[in-house]
Amino acid sequence: MSDIDLIHRWLKAFQSSDYDTMATCYHPDATFTDIAFVLQGQKQIHAMWHMICENGIEVELRESPRASGETVTTKIIDTYKLSNTGRQVKNPVLCTFRFREGKIIEQRDECDPIAWAAQAFGGIKGWFVGRIGLLRRIAARKKIEAFIQQHPQYAE
């Protein structure tokens, strides 16, 4: 399977909230980073996608996957309600993937943290969360740790 085919498989699984199939696309030593999460290993990444898909998310393909050197990029739009605020978020994301042994070894998702936080939190809290990455990372770490405690299959 080519890298592009793997990303199409990942996208199709994401669009149908099939977090188990998404997890099979990752190398055991994969890493994932975005404006909130910094995850190491297939199990942590699997747990994150399980948590996100379980809460409900719509994924729209904005730009088909394209290969450039050792990476594949694609643009998507995630639409969901943030679980702790109930606020609707429509978030354009640039996903960049690298590969090892036919699997995703690194995924970096980029979006505008200020625009995301304004939608997700609004007001003064959104202002701070949008500008201070440490706040996003602490909240995301607590959220994923609590989820893993409730789902021991993801514990290391």
Give mean pLDDT, residues 119-139.
95
Summarised one tens digit per residue, pLDDT across range 16-27 is 999 999 999 999
Whole-structure pTM value? 0.95
Does domain 3-151 fall under CATH 3.10.450.50? My reply is yes
The pLDDT-based confidence of 155 (bands split at 50, 70, 90) is confident
Domain residue ranges in the chain: 3-151
Summarised one tens digit per residue, pLDDT across range 23-76 is 999 999 999 999 999 999 999 999 999 999 999 999 999 999 999 999 999 999
pLDDT at 84: 85
Give the long-range contacts of residues 138-146, CB within 8 A, separation 24 or more: 139/36, 140/36, 140/37, 143/51, 143/84, 144/37, 144/39, 144/44, 144/47, 144/48, 144/51
